[in-house]
Structure 1
Amino acid sequence: MNARIQARFAQLTAENRAALVTYICAGDPDYDTSLKLLKGLPGAGADIIELGMPFSDPMADGPAIQAAALRALRAGQTQRKTLEMVRQFRQHDKTTPLILMGYYNPIHRYGAADYMRDASEAGVDGLLVVDLPAEHDAELGPLARQYGIDMIRMATPTTDAQRLPKVLAQASGFLYYVSLNGVTGVGQADGARVRDAIGAIRQQSALPVCVGFGVRTPQQAASFARDAEGVVVGSALVDCIERAETGEKALEAVLELTGQLAAAVLSARQ
């Protein structure tokens, strides 16, 4: 497991609380505002950051994150700019784990070996490639392990007992549990089913489990934080950016909601 991710979960376990994992899309609404958001999230209460790599066809994402990706691309965001953003973040923050989340096509176009080397040098801790299933681990997995980058895998309500071991086989860092079928930011998960799924995963793996998709409010975050090692919130934060009239107002809104989510997650086990 990547050292920063391992250290963060060890700290959270000692404090008996779940991680708040926040998602923003790199370059949304523009590079400078996005970098300010990235730098501000840990102070507002984010324990782990997922930074989206904007892509023109984000098939697993709902309307909010699709719109964020398009805003970022229109503003000129590229893979190289996203890695530069990570470098600038690391000058400011040496301890917060940072996961890049996105799709395989831009990585393939960049060149997998070059990309993994540059991501490691920039300070990336983990990679979640939505459209690269565990069965295709050979595409990036060996390179990721060479450079000390965790490959974050996803399990869903349709991941049955037969497939789960394949998902877990080369997973590292944490397991991202998709709480409901469908795309990000749409619908609401069944808490009892999520608890049962986490229990089944724990019978086969000691990896921390972070629950995402459909987690929008502090109340929902607190509910999942009682059972999971982490709670992922993305679309609700991205919505703050879309509604904001200026970059400064987007910054204020995102960090305020992050603070509310962090307080809810902190209180969940008290």
Structure 2
Amino acid sequence: MTRIDSCFERLRGEGKKAFVAYVMAGDPDYERSRDIVLKLPEAGVDIIELGLPFTDPMADGPTIQRAGQRALENGQTLEKTLQIVRELRKQDDRTPVVMMGYYNPIYSRGVDRFLAEAKEAGIDGLIIVDLPPEEDDELCLPAQEAGLNFIRLATPTTDSKRLPAVLKNTSGFVYYVSITGITGAAAAEAVDVAPDVARIKEATDLPVVVGFGIRSPEAAESIAAVADGCVVGSAIVSEIGAGKSADEVAAFVATLAEGAHRA
């Protein structure tokens, strides 16, 4: 059982939904990014989603693209991203960390080396947005053999014919992308999300967590109410991009977590 599995089991026992917070590793620089990540568990974050900056982030909207650019310009690397997780693990051995990004940096490092280092650092799961199920031999299956969850994205265009392939080797949870398009592009609406979440839950026992388009405590509450949890990314990254301190970012995150936990 991974930290992700344990987290959802604990939340079910408490009658609560999961709040997942996304931040870009190294944004705006290593030190401030590390300080923000270290404060997330205290702010009520159940799962930390840590973005791995990449030069060509095709699924990301302008807010997260700019975050990745800031991180790369200030020298963020895959090694420094792993180091942030190591720093977190010195004080927190419970909160799951999911690395989200693209395959190229992992391929460049070497899959076996990356998985060994990720496991050692304390990463629990991966979301690699440009590896479809047809490429599971590349990273998904080796990651699961190494003890990491491989979390797949389902979208409004994932029909009943495609869904079994998406779910086949997914573990930890299913990440349902609530809108078509890039991150931060539109607002998620619970009334639109609920039928698709129900459809996915009929096909899997895994928790279904909804992301994209959630910007406020009220939105976090309404979306979490129709799923097993919610993800907020662009709204948090915007606060970081506006130059807010780690304490100010954590205070904002805490309001979102409270919203999700009210669901």
User: Smaller-chain TM-score range?
Assistant: over 0.9
Question: How far apart, in 2, do the equivalents of 1:253 and 1:55 lie?
Answer: 26
Give the equivalent residue in structure 1 for 2:205: 206
Tell me the amino acid that sits aligned with residue 205 of structure 1.
T
Q: Distance in 2 between matches of 1:15 and 1:190?
A: 26
> CA shift at 1:3, angstroms?
1.9
Over the residues paired in the alignment, what is the CA RMSD in angstroms? 0.9
1:71 aligns with 2:66: no
**2:247 is aligned with what amino acid?**
E
TM norm structure 1: 0.95
**Corresponding residue number in structure 2 for 1:35:** 34
2:101 is the counterpart of 1:102 = yes
Equivalent pairs counted in the alignment come to: 263
Aligned to 2:245: 250
Q: Deviations over 1:193-242 (max 9, x none)?
A: 21000111111100000100111111110001111111000000000011
Counterpart of 1:263 in structure 2 is 258
CA distance in 1, matches of 2:19, 2:85: 19
Q: TM-score, normalised by structure 2?
A: 0.98
C-alpha distance after superposition, 1:124-159 (max 9, x if no partner): 000000111122111112211221000000000000
AA matched with 2:167: L
Q: Matches of 1:3 and 1:241 in 2, distance apart?
A: 30
Q: Aligned-pair distance for 1:84?
A: 1.3
Displacement of 1:192: 1.9
Matches within 5 A, 1:101-140: 101-140=100-139
| Structure 1 residue 89: Cα displacement | 1.0
Contact kept in structure 1, 2:2 and 2:149, CA below 8 Å: no
Amino acid at match of 2:246: L
Identity across the alignment (%): 49
Please give the alpha-carbon distance, in whole angstroms, between the structure 1 residues aligned to 2:7 and 2:107: 30
Whole-Å Cα distance in 1 between the matches of residues 125 and 245 of structure 2?
26
**Do the aligned partners of 2:190 and 2:226 also contact (CA within 8 Å) in 1?**
no
Secondary structure at the aligned position of 1:92 is classed as: coil
**CA distance, structure 2, for counterparts of residue 122 and residue 75 of structure 1:** 22
Measure, in 1, the Cα distance between the counterparts of 2:205 and 2:49.
Answer: 21
Unpaired segments of 5 or more residues in structure 1? none
Specify the code of the residue in structure 2 equivalent to 1:160.
D
Task: Tell me the equivalent position of 1:173.
Answer: 172
* Cross-structure match for 2:90: 91
Counterpart position of 2:8: 9
1:69 alignment partner AA: G
Residue in 2 that maps onto 1:237: 236
Which residue matches 2:159? Answer: 160
Q: Tell me the equivalent position of 2:193.
A: 194
Instruction: Determine if contact 1:241/1:253 at 8 Å carries over to the other structure.
Output: no
Counterpart-to-counterpart distance in 2, 1:179 and 1:220:
12
Distance 1:22 1:146 in 2: 26
Counterpart Cα distance in 1 of 2:228 and 2:147: 22
* In structure 1, distance between residues paired with 2:93 and 2:66: 30
Report if the CA contact (8 A) 2:141-2:169 is conserved.
no
The runs of 5 or more residues in structure 2 that have no matched partner are none
Contact 2:4–2:124 (Cα < 8 Å) also in 1? yes
